[in-house]
A and B are shown apart, each in its own frame.
Chain A
C-alpha cells in the first residue's frame, strides 16, 4: 500500500465551479499536511499547509484534515482557468526524515 493515495484525474470543471481534491494516507503519525500547485515545467508552489487536524482557509482555498479517517481535502471556490494545474498533496512529521507525496491530480478549469 502506498503511503499517500491521490486520484490522478484529470478533473475537468467549468469556470466558477467548486473543486474538491482529496488524498488518503496510511500512516497515522503524519502531522504536517500540505497542498502544492504545479504548473507544467515549474516547481511546485506551496498553497496551503495544515498542522494536525482541522480546517484552514485562505481566500478561495480551504484545506481540511480528518486524521481519524486519514483523509485530507483541498477545496477551491469560484474556480478560474488560471487554477488549471496539477495539485499535489504532501505530508510528513517530526519523526520523518522526508515528505510523502501523492501522485498529483491534474485539474482543468474550462472558461
Chain B
C-alpha cells in the first residue's frame, strides 16, 4: 500500500515555541492531505484539509493562526503549531488522499504514523 511519512514522531518543546510537523506522501501525489488531532482513547478529530497550492480549509473551532498549514508541493504538507502551550499537547496525525489512478482504481486514504507533541 501507499506510504505516508510523518516527522517527527515525538517532540517536546517549551511553551511559547513553534513546532513544525511534516507529512509526505512517498509513492503517490497527494493533492489533498488532512490533519487530525487525537486525544487519549478518543477518535480522530479533523482539524483541517490541506490542498496543494491553495489555502487550507479549517474545521469549526480550529484557529488557523495557531495551526499553520502549508501544502506547497504534491507530496508535502506541513503543520506548524505556533506559540505552543501545554493545552496544545496532543497526538497529531496526517493523512493523504490517494485519488483513483490506473494502477489503483479506487480512492483511498493513508495515514502517517503520528506525532506526539508535549509542551512543557
A: residues with CB less than 8 A from B are 32, 34, 36, 41-46, 49, 51, 88, 90, 92, 94, 97-99, 101-104, 106
Contact = CB atoms under 8 A, between A and B. Distances in A.
What size tier do the contact residues of chain B reach? 20 to 34
Contacts of B91: 41
A88 B46 contact: no
Given A46-B1, A99-B109, 6 more contacts: A32-B106, A41-B116, A49-B106, A98-B34, A101-B44, A104-B43
A46 B49 contact: no
Nearest to B116: A41
A43 B112 contact: yes
Determine the main DSSP class of B at the interface with A.
strand
12 contacts: A34-B108, A34-B109, A41-B116, A43-B111, A44-B95, A92-B109, A97-B32, A97-B49, A98-B46, A99-B34, A99-B109, A101-B44
Given A41-B91, A43-B93, A36 B108 contact: no
A72 B55 CA distance: 34
A91 to B, nearest CB: 10
B15 interface: no
User: Which 3 A-B residue pairs are closest in the complex by CB-CB distance?
Assistant: A43-B111, A103-B43, A43-B113
A32 B106 CA distance: 8
A32 B108 contact: yes
